[in-house]
Structures are given as C-alpha cells and as structure tokens.
Amino acid sequence: MTVIGTVAAGTDRLGGSGLERAARVVLPLVGAFAVICAVIAGLGANPFTVLGSMVTGSLGSQYDLAETLMVTMPLVLCGLAAAIPFSAGLWNIGGDGQLYVGAVASVLVGLTIGTRVPGTLLSCVCVLAGVAAGCLWALLAAAVKIAVGGNEVIVTLMLNLLAGLAADYVVTGPWAQGVSPQTRSIPSGATFSSFWQSGFNVGFFVAVAVALAFGVFMSSTRTGFGIRASGRNLDATRLAGFRVVRLWLAAFGLGGACAGLAGALLVVAVHGALIPGMGEQYGYTGIAVALLAGLRPRLVIPAALFFAIVEVGGSSLSASANVSTAISYVIEGVIVIALLAFRAIRVRT
C-alpha cells in the first residue's frame, strides 16, 4: 500500500522491534479510519459507500485520474513549501498566502503584457513572476524572524490572510472579468495545452521535476546540508562555518518560491485566470503532505498523490452522496494527527 509504504519510509528512525514499528503505523491508521467513519456517519451517510465512491471518483476513469494528477501538482509544490523550511526548523505556515501572491503576480503580468509578448515566452514570464512573488512574500516573514526574532508562525498566518484579501481585490478590481467573480483570462497562447484527458498538461511534470531536483539539492549540496543541519543543531551549524541567516533566507525563499510556482501553475496550467478560492487550502494541506513524507522532497510526490486522491474523491462526493467536499480536510487532518500521536511521524522541535 502506498500510504503505509510512504509512512514507513518517512518515519524518522523509529527504533524498537519490527512489530512495534508496524504497530506504530497500523494502529493510528485504524484509529484515524474509525474517527473518519464516525464523522461521515454523523453526516448521515454510509461511511463505506462514501469512501468507496471517493476512490472511484478520483481513480475510477482516465478523466478522474488526470484530474487527480493535476491536483497532485499544487500539493507537491505546497508540500515542498512546508518541507524545506521545516527541515531548517522554520515553521513556514504561509504556503497558502505564497500560493495566492504567486497566482496574483502571474495573472497581473499575463494581463498587462499579454498582448505584446508571444505565447510561450509569456507563459515563462508569468511562471517566473509567480515564483518571484511567492519567494518575496516568504522572505517578508523570514525578515521579521531574523531582524526581531518575531514568531514566524503568526507572521506567516497573517500574510496568508493578507494575500487572500489581495486576491479578493484583484478579482473584483479593475481586472475583473465582469460576469463571474474572477479576473479576465490571460491570452490562451500562454496557457499550457492539454495532451490527455481533463486538461492534463506538462504542469504536473514540472512539479515532479521540481520535487526531484529538491531531493538532490537537500541531500547533495552544501546549502541543502546546511538547511538540514540548522534544523537539528543551530550552534553546531554555526561552528561548522555556515552563516545561519543565509540558510534561513534560503530555506524560506525556496519554500516560498515553490508555493508561488504552485499559484502560477494554477493560473497558467489549470484556470487561465485568478479565481477566488482556487487555492483550496492547498497551502495547509501541503503541511500535511510534508509531514507524511517525513520532510523528504522525493517522498513528497507519493504523499501529495495520496492527498490528491482524497481531495478529488471528496470533491466528487457532494453530487453523489450528499456529503460536503470539506470531508477531505477532515480525512487529511485526522490521518496525519493520528500518525503524529503514535509517533509514526516525528517532527523535531
């Protein structure tokens, strides 16, 4: 099973016998399953029917599978946005906001220079604008942390809310489309063209490539090592000759860039415009993804795929089972909390 495989691989030197290790993963999953079933039953639906239709709704056909892979894309990137700073012991809760400023920047650039720049170049510029915006938004929180030692959790949470308001303003402001609450679409030449079902396009492979690249970066470069080291022992990292301030800026900036890329790709590869609520809590789900992957960039890919199945399965529900799509947040939260509680996943403090 993907889930257990992921979890077992992502666990951080559990210790104990094989039986104990297996129990640490199986018991919380059983507990989480019981809680999820109870919540679904509380909504007046049959848990097994609902969970079954979630699986068929996300993997049942080529169309559904393509949609699941396209949802995997932002989840991989938001997972990285959490995993990289978390490795440095920095709590970047700001994936949500970094995603939205990325999307805002990407749309604004696309609409402003759209008529003057040819399609392929334009999509590159839009993506870069999103990456830069997400990076800068995260560096804002890093600056507060470094300059005055402020709590980065509160700052990134506030930056999320501010980015949400900025997106709201852009959607209703001078760039509004007029009919439905969204911005005008960027020129169609700039959006990625689909070559399979359900709008599946190259954006998915971009996300996977970024995750693999960060896998190499974190394990085989000096800066990647420094980031991981600073999460374990700050003094030792400093004594080893690293400049901790630079490592923190790198960790926050790279994390923010990933989330900004997620926002830009949601515009360029999925919607072609900025739509309110298109972030779908991906930033927060990304934290769950990063934890399930044990903060390892390569394992973020299967973890994101698992949560994408939950998300797409959840959004297929409201029509068939009269259960809200919000049930996917319950499933994500309960599974990861249970794994944390049984120490199948450990996070250093």
Q: Which is closer to another protein, CB of 59 or CB of 340? A: 340
Q: Using an 8 Å Cβ cutoff, are 248 and 145 in contact? A: yes
CB of 349 to another protein, least distance (A): 6
DSSP string, 36-50: HHHHHHHTTS-HHHH
CB of 215 to another protein, least distance (A): 21
Q: Using an 8 Å Cβ cutoff, are 273 and 181 in contact? A: no
Q: Which is closer to another protein, CB of 43 or CB of 125? A: 43
CB of 111 to another protein, least distance (A): 18
CB of 30 to another protein, least distance (A): 12
Beta bridge partners of 183: 176
Q: Which is closer to another protein, CB of 82 or CB of 273? A: 82
**Alpha helices (H) in the chain, listed in sequence order:** 2-10, 18-42, 47-59, 62-87, 95-113, 119-148, 152-172, 203-220, 222-232, 234-239, 244-265, 282-292, 300-315, 317-321, 327-341
Q: What is the largest CA-CA distance in the chain?
A: 64
CB of 341 to another protein, least distance (A): 5
Q: Using an 8 Å Cβ cutoff, are 245 and 238 in contact? A: no
User: Cα(23)–Cα(9) distance, rounded to whole angstroms?
Assistant: 15
CB of 39 to another protein, least distance (A): 6
In a 13 Å sphere around the CA of 29, the CA atoms on its Cβ side amount to: 16
Q: Which is closer to another protein, CB of 188 or CB of 349? A: 349
User: Cα(237)–Cα(235) distance, rounded to whole angstroms?
Assistant: 5
Q: Which is closer to another protein, CB of 20 or CB of 193? A: 20
Q: Which is closer to another protein, CB of 13 or CB of 222? A: 13
CB of 335 to another protein, least distance (A): 9
Q: Which is closer to another protein, CB of 147 or CB of 179? A: 147
List residues near another protein by CB under 8 A.
16-17, 19-20, 23-24, 27, 39, 42-44, 91, 93, 144, 147-151, 153-155, 157-159, 161-162, 165-166, 168-169, 173, 281, 284-285, 287-288, 291, 322-324, 326-334, 336-337, 340-343, 347-349
CB of 31 to another protein, least distance (A): 11
In a 13 Å sphere around the CA of 305, the CA atoms on its Cβ side amount to: 16
Q: Which is closer to another protein, CB of 216 or CB of 245? A: 245
| Residue carrying structure tokens 């739509």 | 275
Beta bridge partners of 176: 183
User: Cα(84)–Cα(298) distance, rounded to whole angstroms?
Assistant: 12
User: Cα(332)–Cα(170) distance, rounded to whole angstroms?
Assistant: 30
